[in-house]
Amino acid sequence: MSFSSDIKQELNKTSNLANKELVKYELIGYLISGNIDVIGNNKIKFSTESDYNINRFSKLLSNLNINHQIDIVGKNFVITAKIGILNKIEEVVKIKDTVKIEDENKIKNENKIEILDKIEIKQNTIYLKDITEEKQENLKSIIRGLFLGAGSINNPERKYHLEIVLSNIENMKKIVKILGIFDIKVKTLETQNKYSIYIKESEEISKFLALIGASKAVLKFEDIRIQKQMRGKVNRLVNCETANLNKTINASIEQIEAIEKIQKAGKFNKLDDNLKEIAILRLENPDMSLIDLGKKLKTPIGKSGVNYRLKRIMEIAKNL
């Protein structure tokens, strides 16, 4: 199972269905996603390969008393449903002769599902109205439904990439604005037939997962992120040590060649005692660092002192 599927399975088990307000906003998130097709003015079709996702969407519709139908088309589950301000007219008709007009209106209002007050349908496309002043819990529910509807995330062990496809550019801009309220930074992608938001920064992805209530996914994501950071740190240290070792070896080779040149020229014994001492140590310890060479001298000196003496030897060899 993919990391995306794990998250959607977790969100499918989110037990907030008793709160019809949150259910409504989560449904709105689905409706503005890129996987929704609008048929006519009040009929929608949603398709997905995820049984967890289709189950969640069905729960939302059922919770709001919206009739819907689930079909299987190839590898996809497809839900079709009517949306809008839905009234249980049948119940009103049954008791119409026994209630007053005001009572009838009261029954209608009690059974009304207000969805169209937050969205509008134009030319077979659903547009989200400006809802940035809504309660934060409602906004979180929209983002959760949106991710469930058309979101995906790569396995963080390979790379960091979260993306959500929206139905149009207006909805994309509104979602960017909503996520900004929660201090989550996203980038946008616009092509001829695709509008999406995406996140590549690991910290922002972690914040996003926490926002939509995927707490288990956050823990798993953070665990993977920390392990990757540790591996990266170890690799950098190893690379740095390797580079330093290569640098030491290359410098040592040049120093040994200079010493051997002086020896072949019969000039070695004419060197000052301090130069002869460091030269012998270098020949005996070709891999040793300057600091360690300095410690092995009869009178220990620091790195800069050793470097000065070896440079003097190389200058003498150069002039031979």
- Residue 241 has a pLDDT of 72
256 contacts: CB under 8 Å, gap ≥ 6:
282, 283, 286
- Residue 96 has a pLDDT of 40
- Residue 99 has a pLDDT of 42
Nearest to 245 by CA among 186, 288, 303, 191: 288
What are the C-alpha distances in Å from 211 to residues 147, 150, 257?
11, 17, 64
Cβ–Cβ under 8 Å, residues 12 and 6: no
Mean pLDDT by 10 residues, the chain (320 residues): 85 80 92 87 83 87 88 89 51 40 45 65 85 89 93 89 93 94 93 89 92 90 83 77 77 87 86 89 86 90 90 88
Residue 178 host element (H or E)? helix 169-181
Cβ–Cβ under 8 Å, residues 313 and 275: yes
DSSP-derived secondary structure letter, 194: -
Say which CATH superfamily domain 3-213 falls into.
Homing endonucleases (3.10.28.10)
- Residue 209 has a pLDDT of 93
Nearest to 31 by CA among 175, 156, 136: 175
Give long-range contacts, CB 8 A cutoff, 24+ apart: 88-96: none
Cβ–Cβ under 8 Å, residues 313 and 271: yes
126 contacts: CB under 8 Å, gap ≥ 6:
31, 32, 36, 38, 44, 119, 120, 167, 171
Cβ–Cβ under 8 Å, residues 67 and 81: yes
What are the C-alpha distances in Å from 91 to residues 97, 104, 175, 192?
12, 10, 38, 46
Tokens of 130: 């400006």
Per DSSP, the residues of 280-301 read: HHHHH-TT--HHHHHHHSSS--
What are the C-alpha distances in Å from 57 to residues 1, 3, 60, 99, 193?
20, 20, 5, 36, 25
- Residue 87 has a pLDDT of 34
Give the residue range(s) of CATH 3.10.28.10 domains in the chain.
3-213
- Residue 41 has a pLDDT of 67
Residue 189 host element (H or E)? strand 187-190
Cβ–Cβ under 8 Å, residues 306 and 252: no
- Residue 198 has a pLDDT of 95
